[in-house]
Structure 1
């Protein structure tokens, strides 16, 4: 590579780290990505020792993201030039293994992405290359090799079983197992030889750490024969390093985990896997590992640097309880367990209190949200709960003695002994929960305990006591959060004003927990009708405005974009109040809108918290949804448009898909004509929306497709036809239909085009459109596409402007006479597979129109009539939709926002299945509050059976010969359902 190219790239990377130059530098880097050889030049920048470390790390990060975006398309085909692909594969392993750890991690992730698509079929020499580089003496080199191997193998951990996966693992095992064992034994010998050499020991323990991680990787799906045959030797080595100690490996900093602790934590993960998955072969060794782990737990200090080790060790013991339940059943054993393991690890430590004061948002995320899965408290709680599940009566009795002891200790001196009560409340919550704690709260509780009485006696006083310690107030709020399903609506209603008063607390954690708990209370569903929430708009209306104003005051304490967006929990509560309040927020919606516009303006300068952003946009969607129809046409458009255009103009990539969704919502909700400046603004937006660059980002596509449909529905003539943009619009359709991921969006867009654009403006393109679709069905057909194509044909037939003859001729334009084959092979078989009510209606109406109104089904395609009529009458019989107005109400109830996003399970007092996995990136995140009613293209049809019956009766008098050909069971259905004798 030319040195000037490398220096130019390094300059752009360095500029991208400067906020003043970042946007321009990023645009230049994106432009450079299109040049052949860019990937190799980027790799050379990563390994250029003469460059600053920050520049090299920036290059490594860019390389990883570049590979993620550009390595393959959605069908697995390489997007880079073949020469670049070959060069990257040839160079990357050798370059990576010689780099510092920070760069190795990023390059390792890149290799993992590449291997995901290419290994083993298109990268057959990868494992041979790695094995050949292993050295008997150079452990630094080996660590690089092992880091690459782990990056590849760890991909297997979350995958479902498949033949392809097992073949890949088998290939790796055949080449890697022998060298793996040899290197493990060699590392063990070197540890003994260099026991007094700190630097060498640290390198060797990094090797051991990678070896134990790879041990897990290679066994994560099933135990290989090699590991079963060599288990005694391998597990002997593993056990040796579970008990290994050396003062040379201890760190002076209480927060810095040492090399030995990292290895031991990794070993605990490994033996947990064996205890959980391979207990039959691990059984002879389990007792020894349990005793060793017990000793480890009772001798390890309380410093934060041991937290991960302790949590992993407890996780292993938690798994072991089910295998060796008898070891933990005696009351004196349980007493020892609680006293020596549980209590030391659930007690509040000075480091926890420091976190509460110095980094409250991190305290909240660790404690409530589930990110503390590697903390002592969480692990000790899981351990205790597993014990309770096995020995409920005994464990409850033992733990309650300590609960009462700590409560009594607190009563003796409340100011000094408040930590004792914190421990008591935590212990009680841990054993009171039965089963999983989910996003909906606790579904059942320990019948030996009265959670409501405990609340009345021990929790409620702390809620109202002015002198209660802030952490006890948090405990009290969290108790309501955990056991909200055990409290009545009246009790929760009484707690509401108390929780609301917490918004004026000076304690960050207190008011944030209050917001979290209010949001969760408003999310409780009725037990008798799970489609409705316990608290409705009438319940929230009297306090909604005050709640929102207090929440905005707290959020707007932030003085920078980052601080404003720091607390997503407050923003989520704003969203929930708006969604619950619905139309009752209309009187003060303009004030709420101003707050949201201020937050959007500031956070757009540096989007830093994707969850906060998501809830902010959901809140905007809620205000628009409920208030826009009550405002003059275009009122909110005029307020939002300048800010939205600024976001689009500045290319704030994280916000752009949200902006498109809100623009579409504004258009869809405005019933009166939008004219003047607002209409002109939308008109000027259309041409840029069709630019190919916007459609390159996968995250933009669903929102862009919806916005184009909204524009078409609003004024297709002015926005597209008059501007000569029909052909570019069809070009977007062509791009989408070619994609397995986006073909559904393509057909949605095509339906909108054919529905709203005058036929005279599109008829000359119809043949080519049909060819595109059928070619896609022929070349890379998917079940999803077949179903969606069938719905599209039925849509054409159902729409009065188009009709069944248009639907048939549309397909026949691709190839004369092909509709029959397509109808029989693809459309009819998918007709009964639709789930959405509107899809079912379109199928019934469209199929009825084709069979009874199309001239070609009495002539050219008459042979398919009987087959179609059989499907139709079966559908009409089994899927009666008596009132299609109900379909249009499907989305009137805004569902819980959590349901719009993936969730991660957590299990702790105060935790819950409520960890919304919202991240910035290429994926699209739908705004639930912008969900619209499905378009009903045939509102005149309100009864399925009546519509089919009318068609049969009108048709029956003239088509007895066709009707006579129907199967006897179909004739019986027609006679029974419609009173028509065939």
Structure 2
């Protein structure tokens, strides 16, 4: 019987069949043998290529999501099968047509190796080494790709003993055959015989050599292994030998020249780039070894850049070469190489300026792919050291030269300013023909003026030798305000200038240019209006100290026209994908709503209708998670500020939003379910306590306690929040149903407490039940609840769970609620087993006391104090635990009093600056910061100084109860420190 999986994979590629196919695949995924079966489909060459590719992606995702998953792990037997077949699969996928499949399976190998090597997969590296051959370079290519997938993550790992143990074990098996293959391949490629090879053979060997150099980087990125230190001169060269690196920086076989118009780098270009990355690494990390050869490499790199062409395929190599010069300039050992004025001038004139110029393909991208143009252009502001383009790398080189010394900073600034003046003069002579000269001048000015920058703040420190504001007024402002006659790229340059130097401008100056930026929102040019939105959003995000610079009063007149212009740009698109394409527009909408706040009340329905209209369209085919996040944040922020300013508007929000909520939940648009649950919770939380809750909420509640909605991990936090909102606003209805409390507890027992990942949410629900459900109803279930919690403590105890359990007990005892005294919990535990409470105190509660976080100390202190003063704790045998429990005082007293105040509203909302879903929709929870409300403080009665409160409580109890006085005396004799603390 044939498997249905290939057909389902094929259907998953068809839009109108995708959802049903994915649902069936998801249900099959948890069955034994499914994951190995996917791998077999990948290897089955009788299957259609799209099916094999879909199987490969599904296989990789299953490995990433479930290999180390707690709730739905891949069965152990399947893991063994996968491990046994992964290396062989990579070898099987060694043909050129298998490159995409090999890449996906390689990612799966890296994931499995991260979790299982070496403990559960000790023979991984030995299997790889055993597969290498002296002549079959097709096989060697796959083996080396596999090794690279395994080794490459090391460079970003935090140093640890376990990491070094893993690296040392791998290298002990891999280094010797690696060096042998490197020498054999390098010798073959640099011999006279290489001239007679055809392009295919030479290309295969070049790809292998490229991986060999990449592996060199992988294996030396964390630390320098002894074998590499011993072979240093072989690779870097010496006075008597050239070295492999220099040889391959000069390696340019004519057979591999390829098409200059092809943007894909050739093997020689990729090898040069990797060699330069290794040189940069050594200059930064192992400078004593590399320093003697640095002048040779600097000279070689200079020649390499000079001989390069403007072809796109050479961009990566040239950018890395310039980046190497930047690192070398900042390294103290050879600073003399870069201090001479003639050298500085040559660097600026022959490397910086040519690399700063706008390229033909960038002009084409500006017109044909404007969104990608923007993203690449923003990379410089987000990470000036990325060196991802020639211009970015050249900018970083200028900053590196400025950092050498005050003298070099002054000389470099003078040289660059003269080049800027020259470029501006060329532009002034013929603006229509020479507009690129001004674009270069602006790029040069930004490079020489900005000494430091961050993505949140733009330029943070400037060169004291230049006047940013004066340059803006003389050379930039005119382009910003011009109605016509200025090239669109120069107008974008003017907008970008404000974006980059926004923190150097005063509030008054920013308010002056804001109307100019608003005009560009109406531009027909995609890059212009998008950059205007980006810049407006960043201006409104500016903070001075901890306070936002702009308030609702500053934009009360401009908020409405800004929103109209932004909505118009989004609404002009006709398909869900195009509507959601430009997240920068939606982020600007969000920021305007967050800043304008209550000033939008007069037009809130128009704003909400626009947002919901966008939501309804993009929900037909979700495609851009970042856009979605900002859209929902905008709705949440509008709801937050409008209802806070006018409570009667809540019903309008409910009437408009619930139709979209129903659509998302009924159609199970899983990307949006976590968002709408948070919005519903936010609306419910906004109802005043005691007021009648609209029936629409009651109709939604049964869905929350069905098992299926808890299967998506990202839905768990908002589901818990929503249940807590129901309990806080309408507990009477829940209790009256007679079935909903047991159903809620069923969710806690089955989905939350057993999960190491989500057990904290289980305690959140239990705390809400204790807070809002009457004691007589609670008493029916509490023994079973405590039994469930202690069973988990016995079966799968973790440090996290122990802390949560003890905190929960303290919460129960600290909760100031009539009839819910500490005795309620103590008696429930004693009902499970007489005498159990003493064991709980001495074996669980007391050992956990020193480990509580500062923010929990008030709660724990209040709970412990109320427990100590309860009648149950003043009789035997519980009274015998008094002395160990009261030692908690010492731990609290030596710490600063915990601050009971919640974070300020501005602090919470300023956190809404995320780009957190750039890799596609994730199972992880996407929090809506704007929807969150202040959490009630269960121990507000304590005040901010828990120690003072505890002293007062004990002192008062001692005056009326001799047993308390006696225990305090005993404790004082045993622990004098506590006597001092207690006064």
Quick check: 1:686–1:719 contact (8 Å CA) kept in 2? Answer: no
Shift of 1:314: 1.7
Q: What's 2:120 paired with?
A: 122
Q: 2:249: which partner in 1?
A: 242
- Of the three residues 728, 738, 743, the one matched with 1:713 is 728
- State the secondary structure of the residue aligned to 1:157: helix
Partner residue in 2 for 1:852:
869
Q: Does the CA-based 8 Å contact 2:893-2:981 persist in structure 1?
A: no
CA contact (8 A) 1:721 1:757 kept: no
Correspondence 1:699 to 2:706: no
Residue matched to 1:963: 968
| Change in CA separation of 1:538 and 1:522 when aligned onto 2, cut-off 3 Å | same
**TM-score after normalising by structure 2:** 0.92
Instruction: Mark the CA change 1:824 to 1:634 in structure 2 (over 3 Å): closer, same or farther.
Output: farther
User: 1:22–1:881: structure 2 CA closer, same or farther, 3 Å change rule?
Assistant: closer
Q: CA deviation at 1:615?
A: 0.6
Structure 1 residue 339 and structure 2 residue 337: aligned? Answer: no
In 1, Cα distance between equivalents of 2:871 and 2:278: 67
- Corresponding position of 2:366: 356
The 3-state SS of whatever aligns with 2:156 is coil
**Contact preservation (8 Å) 1:130, 1:149:** yes
Task: Mark the CA change 1:46 to 1:697 in structure 2 (over 3 Å): closer, same or farther.
Answer: same
Aligned partner of 1:97 in structure 2 is 91
Separation (CA, whole Å) in 2 of partners of 1:723 and 1:648: 25
Superposition deviation, residue 316 in structure 1 = 1.8
Offset of residue 919 of structure 1:
4.1
- Structure 2 equivalent of residue 29 of structure 1: 25
> How many angstroms apart in 1 are the aligned matches of 2:169 and 2:736?
58
Per-residue Cα deviation, 1:649-693 (whole angstroms, up to 9, x for no partner): 3232222221222121111112266768x52x4334333333333
Report what 1:272 is aligned to. Answer: 280
Aligned equivalent of 1:790, options 800, 806, 829: 806
Cα distance in structure 1, aligned partners of 2:423 and 2:22: 58
Aligned pairs (5 A) from 1:821-836: 821-823=839-841, 827=845
Assess, with a 3 A threshold, how the Cα gap between structure 1 residues 749 and 560 changes in structure 2: closer, same or farther. same
| C-alpha separation in 2, matches of 1:854 and 1:493 | 66
> Post-superposition shift, 1:786?
3.8
Deviations along 1:181-228, one digit per CA (max 9) or x if unpaired, are 111122224334343310111111111111111111111211111111
The yes-or-no answer on 1:510 pairing with 2:512 is no
Mapping for residues 179-194 of structure 1, pairs under 5 Å: 179-191=177-189, 192=191, 193-194=193-194
Larger mean Cα displacement after TM superposition, 639-648 or 101-110: 639-648
Report what 1:208 is aligned to. Answer: 209
Report deviation, 1:796: 0.6
What is the TM-score with the length of structure 1 in the denominator? 0.92
Which residue matches 2:953? 951
Partners of 2:418 and 2:829 in 1: how far apart?
A: 77
Q: Does the CA-based 8 Å contact 1:633-1:672 persist in structure 2?
A: no
Find the residue that maps to 1:442 and give its secondary structure. strand
Q: Deviations over 1:341-377 (max 9, x none)?
A: 1111111111111111111111110001448742111
CA distance in 1, matches of 2:338, 2:709: 61
Give 5+ residue unaligned stretches, structure 1: 903-915, 976-982
1:625 and 2:613 correspond: no
State whether residues 826 and 872 of structure 2, in contact with CA within 8 Å, keep that contact through their aligned partners in structure 1. Answer: no
Match of 2:390 among 344, 365, 376: 376
- Kept in 2, the 8 Å contact 1:562–1:608? The answer is yes
Q: Map 1:209-608 onto structure 2 (within 5 A).
A: 209-235=210-236, 236-252=243-259, 253-323=261-331, 324-369=334-379, 370=382, 373-390=387-404, 391-466=408-483, 467-526=485-544, 530-608=545-623
TM-aligned CA distance change 1:598 to 1:815, over 3 Å: same
- The match for 2:239 is none
Q: Does 1:172 align with 2:193?
A: no
Q: Which residue of the partner structure matches residue 755 of structure 1?
A: 771
Question: 1:900/1:793 Cα in 2 relative to 1: closer, same or farther (>3 Å)?
Answer: farther
| Residue 782 of structure 2, aligned match among 766, 778, 782 | 766
Cα separation, partners in 2 of 1:858 and 1:892, compared to 1, 3 Å? farther
Distance 1:457 1:494 in 2: 16
Of stretches 942-951 and 725-734 in structure 1, the one that deviates more from structure 2 is 942-951
Return the alpha-carbon distance in structure 1 between the equivalents of residues 786 and 886 of structure 2.
25
Could you tell me how far 1:26 is from its partner in structure 2?
A: 0.7
Could you tell me how far apart the structure 2 residues matched to 1:246 and 1:503 are? 51
Q: CA distance change for structure 1 residues 465 and 209 in 2, over 3 Å: closer, same or farther?
A: same
Cα deviation digits, residues 708-741 of structure 1 (max 9, x gap): 2222222234346616133332232233222332
Q: Give how far 1:873 is off.
A: 7.6
Distance 1:812 1:251 in 2: 81
C-alpha separation in 1, matches of 2:738 and 2:869 = 39
Query: Paired residue for 2:754, among 735, 738, 748?
Result: 738
Structure 2 residue matching 1:936: 3-state secondary structure: coil
Gaps of 5+ in 2: 237-242
**Could you report, residue by residue, the CA deviation over 1:853-872 in whole angstroms, capped at 9, with x for unpaired residues?**
45314543334434544544
1:642 to 659, 663, 670: 659
The match for 1:58 among 54, 77, 84 is 54
2:626–2:915 CA contact under 8 A, matched in 1 = no
CA separation in 1, counterparts of 2:616 and 2:740? 32
Q: Name 1:199's counterpart in structure 2.
A: 200
What is the distance in 2 between the residues matched to 1:892 and 1:396? 40
SS state at 1:435 partner: strand
Deviation digits for residues 128-161 of structure 1 (CA, Å, limit 9, x no counterpart): 1111111111111111111111111112121111
State the Cα RMSD in Å.
2.5
**Cα distance 1:408–1:543, how it changes in 2: closer, same or farther (>3 A)?**
same
Indicate if the aligned counterparts of 2:861 and 2:888 stay in contact, CA closer than 8 A: no
Of structures 1 and 2, the one with the larger relative CO (CA 8 A, separation 6+) is: 1
Residues 939, 161 of structure 1: CA spacing in aligned structure 2 closer, same or farther, 3 A cutoff?
closer
CA contact (8 A) 2:449 2:462 kept: yes
Q: 2: distance between equivalents of 1:901 and 1:773?
A: 38
Greater shift, 495-504 or 765-774, is seen at 765-774
Q: What is the Cα deviation at residue 510 of structure 1?
A: 1.2
- In structure 2, the residue matched to 1:912 is none
Q: Conserved in 2, the CA contact under 8 Å of 1:698 and 1:922?
A: yes
- 2:894 and 2:601 map into 1 onto residues whose CA distance is 44
Q: 1:543 to 1:858 in 2, by over 3 A?
A: farther
In structure 2, relative to structure 1, the CA distance for the partners of 1:693 and 1:836 (3 Å cut) is: farther
In 1, Cα distance between equivalents of 2:682 and 2:874: 40
Residues 373 and 322 of structure 1: CA distance in aligned 2, closer, same or farther (over 3 Å):
closer
Structure 1 runs of 4+ with >6 Å offset: none
| Rounded Cα–Cα distance in structure 1 between residues aligned with 2:354 and 2:968 | 80
Secondary structure of the corresponding residue to residue 180 of structure 1: helix
